[in-house]
């Protein structure tokens, strides 16, 4: 029995708790009844449905309600902040998803998941090696062979993709290669091809496709990370450095969006100081 695609993880438990105990409607009913009982002095348990509440001490009940409110408010604020208080919905039959290194591995798995969700999603794959899978009949999978360590090839491919398929609305920087040599043993070429493919290509692809996403206020950029960015093992120092670089790129793209989040935070602080001093 499969609990979720990833198997049994903490998320399965958290998801269950959110859908049941912290369910929005449950929390609203509990909070309203608590409020009514506070205001009218009317005990909550006067309602037969709430007899079960006897099982919990009052403090536990209040913590439960506060936890529910906290969960829903933070998840609402997170969503809003992440989207700069605009609504960006994805119509998966219209999106164009560009996945680098999508011919095999994680990129190919992602392609198959996206097509399972919506078979009309356009998927553009750039990879050095040929596709290792057969796209399902009727699906719109476009394959472009190309070496992502070569910036003139990147420029040409992006031009072709815009003309032949359209502007990607989702960019997944997934392609990555590992030479597995030590800093002392690796050749110039080992270091160069790793950093160009894993780090420079994502920068160039972002430069190519981000402006149109901003113009249309719709888009998503994902870069594949790695634990090695945080704890780099020996023999893959160059790879780990590219993954740390991708984190920096992502942070900067985020900060640009988050400026408004900081402004909102400062506004709240100002309002708080204003009211607490008056
Ligand atoms: C990059 O690609 C171009 C052709 O698109 C080719 O002329 C050039 O030699 C390539 N550069 C390298 C370093 O392979
Ligand atoms: C976020 O929204 C504000 C107000 O609508 C706008 O001025 C700002 O440019 C937006 N920021 C981004 C990154 O789109």
pLDDT one-digit tens code per residue, 134-173: 999 999 999 999 999 999 999 999 999 999 999 999 999 9
List, for residues 24-54, the tens digit of each pLDDT value.
999 998 888 778 777 776 666 566 666 666 6
CA neighbor of 224 nearest in space, from 274, 151, 175 = 175
Tell me if residue 14 falls in helix, strand or coil: helix
- Asked whether residue 97 carries a pLDDT value surpassing 90, the answer given is yes
- Residues 94, 134, 243, 256: which is the catalytic one? 243
What is the rounded CA–CA span in Å between residue 28 and residue 64?
Answer: 11
* Top mutation candidate among 83, 84, 221 for ligand 2, by most atoms within 8 Å of CB: 84
Contact residues of ligand 1, CB 6 A cut-off: 150, 152-153
Q: Can you tell me the distance from the alpha carbon of 142 to that of 123, in angstroms, rounded to the nearest whole number?
A: 6
Q: List all residues whose CB is within 6 A of at least one atom of ligand 2.
A: 84, 256-257, 260
Neighbours of 112 (CB within 10 A): 15
Span of 96-105, 111-120, 202-211, 265-274 with lowest mean pLDDT: 265-274
Report the range of poorest mean pLDDT among 9-18, 34-43, 189-198, 216-225: 34-43
Domain extents for the chain? 10-82, 96-259
| Average pLDDT, rounded, for the chain | 87
CATH of segment(s) 96-259: 3.40.50.720
Its pTM stands at 0.78
CA distance 169 to 185: 41
Which ligand minimizes its atom distance to the CA of 82? 2
């Amino acid at each position: 029995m499969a609990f979720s695609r990833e198997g049994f993880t903490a998320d399965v438990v958290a998801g269950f708790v959110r859908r049941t105990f912290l369910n929005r409607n449950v929390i609203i009913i509990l909070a309203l009844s608590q409020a009514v009982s506070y205001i009218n002095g009317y005990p909550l348990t006067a309602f037969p449905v709430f007899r079960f509440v006897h099982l919990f001490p009052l403090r536990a009940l209040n913590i439960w309600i506060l936890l529910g409110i906290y969960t829903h408010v933070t998840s609402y604020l997170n969503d809003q902040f992440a989207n700069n208080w605009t609504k960006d919905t994805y119509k998966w039959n219209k999106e164009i998803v560009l996945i680098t290194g999508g011919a095999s591995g994680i990129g190919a798995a992602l392609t198959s998941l996206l097509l399972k969700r919506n078979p009309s999603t356009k998927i553009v794959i750039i990879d050095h090696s040929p596709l290792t899978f057969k796209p399902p009949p009727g699906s719109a999978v476009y394959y472009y062979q190309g070496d992502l360590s070569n910036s003139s090839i990147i420029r040409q491919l992006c031009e072709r993709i815009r003309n032949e398929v359209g502007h990607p609305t989702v960019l997944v920087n997934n392609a990555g290669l590992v030479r597995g040599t030590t800093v002392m043993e690796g050749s110039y070429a080992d270091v160069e091809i790793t950093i160009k493919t894993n780090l420079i290509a994502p920068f160039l692809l972002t430069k190519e496709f981000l402006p149109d996403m901003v113009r249309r206020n719709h888009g998503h950029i994902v870069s594949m990370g790695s634990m090695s960015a945080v704890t780099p093992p020996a023999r893959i120092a160059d790879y780990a450095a590219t993954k740390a670089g991708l984190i920096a790129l992502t942070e900067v793209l985020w900060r640009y969006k988050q400026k408004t989040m900081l402004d909102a935070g400062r506004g709240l602080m100002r309002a708080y100081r204003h009211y607490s001093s008056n």
